[in-house]
Amino acid sequence: MTRNPDAWGGYARLEYQPEAWKNVSLFVNGAAAERRQFAVTAGVQVYFGADKTLIRRHREDDPPNMMTGPGSLITGAALAALQQEWLRTVAGSSLSSNGVCPAGKFYEPVIKLCL
């Protein structure tokens, strides 16, 4: 099976928690793809634990990112090196150890690149 590079698809989720419902929310998921492929699911989601708004729940209770952070698959140094390499190849940036960049470029001190 070959993949079509011109194929398209999308996914969206809407979740709503009425103020009167502390640990219950309503949700709708929708997806669409080529060739009239559509899917919609809806339901009620029950949360356990402290009473929180949805935004607090999503910010505070989401599981940790396994790709970055302490004990992760990619360490901070490795992630910084990947970012620098990506910027060098894609954005045409150059590495600067002293903060001096060619004319028309500016120095980004966090990633130590001339952009």
Q: What is the pLDDT of residues 44-83, one digit of tens each?
A: 999 888 888 888 888 887 666 665 555 566 666 666 777 6
Q: What is the pLDDT of residues 58-67, one digit of tens each?
A: 888 766 666 5
Same-domain pairing of 54 and 69: no
Same-domain pairing of 6 and 55: yes
Query: Which residue segment(s) compose the domain that 75 sits in?
Result: 65-115
Same-domain pairing of 54 and 92: no
pTM of the model: 0.48
Same-domain pairing of 75 and 112: yes
- Give kind and range of the element (H or E) at residue 75: none
Domains in the chain, number: 2
Same-domain pairing of 35 and 87: no
15 has which bridge partners?
A: 27
Q: Chain-centre distance of CA 21, in angstroms? A: 28
Q: Tokens for 109, please give them.
A: 């001190």
Same-domain pairing of 12 and 40: yes
Same-domain pairing of 52 and 72: no
Same-domain pairing of 19 and 37: yes
Going by the DSSP 8-state scheme, the letter that residue 36 receives in this structure is: T
